[in-house]
């Protein structure tokens, strides 16, 4: 067992339960805002579409800012996250995939994080899968100290709003964000529709997409990994891409890569 990870997850879930007895509308609002910062800006737009797949080009200050936002989700530093996801794409639902439901739904959702060597977050070990990020001293530092931004944010939340702000802004928000992201690893490889005949089990799942700002259109993504747009049809709501397009129109980013909808194959039935 990877006991540091197990203990942290237990504390977070206990804190999320305790938050039910420390509710305030202000605390809920803070949690919702930080959820958007961590999951939409940090994981979806940052770790995933920018750092892993280079779906668009961003100035260095934005690249680093999105990296810090990603650490607030408590899913590891940018080098670890990018390396793990690139391995997933190389070996998706094949031997060597870090989190395939073919090894069990529970394993894909959470189990893979709970067992094995304690070097999941080792920067040197994971850098060979993310050499582009490993060249940036800031990303190396952020990967080594990925837990620090959340600790600082949690202290500030407690100082600003006491236990309600801390429990909702950190415990509830991080717990829900973790499970939402893990559902991309598990649910979107088990349930949903397949627009593209990819070599893996990836599927488009609308309710996971709603929880993750568009990450649930997973079959689209596996068919066109570098596309910054995951929701390829008008009815596939993709908030992360809408924000990417806004930044492009404002001249903040450039080189946005988008898959063409006419590349799609006939839809297959839902599993």
Please name which of 173, 149, 169 lies closest in space to residue 71, comparing C-alpha atoms. Answer: 149
Taking alpha carbons only, the member of 192, 180, 219, 173 closest to residue 44 is 180
DSSP string, 38-92: IIIIIIIIIIIIIIIT--SB--HHHHHHHHHHHHTTTS--HHHHHHHHHHHHHTT
What are the pLDDT digits (tens) for 79-108?
Answer: 999 999 999 999 999 999 999 999 999 999
Does pLDDT of 268 surpass 70? no
> What's the pLDDT score for residue 121?
64
Length, in residues, of the chain: 271
Which position has the higher pLDDT, 178 or 125?
A: 178
In tens, the pLDDT along 25-76 reads 999 999 999 999 999 999 999 999 999 999 999 999 999 999 999 999 999 9
Between 117 and 110, where is the model more confident? 110
Residues 60/80, Cβ–Cβ less than 8 Å: no
Which pLDDT belongs to residue 261? 72
- Band (pLDDT 50/70/90 cuts) for residue 116 is confident
| Greatest Cα pair distance in the chain | 54
Residue 16 has pLDDT above 60, yes or no: yes
Quote the pLDDT of residue 115: 87
Q: What does pTM read for this prediction?
A: 0.94
- The structure tokens listed for 6 are 């197990």
């Amino acid at each position: 067992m990877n006991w540091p990870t197990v203990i942290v997850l237990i504390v977070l879930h206990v804190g999320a339960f305790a938050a039910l007895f420390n509710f305030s509308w202000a605390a809920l609002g803070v949690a919702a805002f930080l959820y958007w910062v961590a999951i939409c800006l940090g994981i979806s737009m940052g770790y995933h579409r920018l750092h892993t797949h280079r779906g668009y080009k961003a100035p260095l200050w934005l690249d680093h800012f999105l990296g810090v936002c990603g650490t607030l989700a408590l899913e590891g530093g940018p080098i670890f996250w990018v390396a793990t996801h690139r391995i997933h794409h190389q070996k998706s639902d094949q031997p060597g995939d870090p989190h395939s439901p073919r090894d069990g739904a529970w394993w894909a959702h959470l189990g893979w994080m709970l067992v094995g060597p304690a070097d999941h977050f080792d920067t040197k070990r994971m850098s060979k899968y993310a050499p582009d990020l490993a060249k940036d001293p800031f990303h190396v530092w952020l990967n080594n100290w990925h837990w620090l931004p959340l600790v600082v944010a949690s202290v500030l939340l407690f100082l600003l709003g006491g236990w309600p702000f801390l429990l909702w802004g950190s415990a509830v928000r991080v717990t829900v964000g973790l499970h939402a992201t893990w559902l991309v690893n598990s649910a979107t490889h088990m349930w949903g529709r397949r627009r593209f005949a990819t070599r893996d089990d990836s599927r488009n799942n609308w309710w996971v997409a709603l929880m993750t700002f568009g990450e649930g259109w997973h079959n689209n993504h596996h068919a066109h990994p570098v596309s910054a747009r995951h929701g390829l049809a008008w009815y596939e709501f993709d908030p992360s891409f809408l924000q990417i397009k806004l930044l492009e129109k404002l001249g903040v980013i450039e080189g946005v890569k988008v898959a063409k909808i006419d590349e799609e194959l006939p839809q297959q039935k839902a599993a």
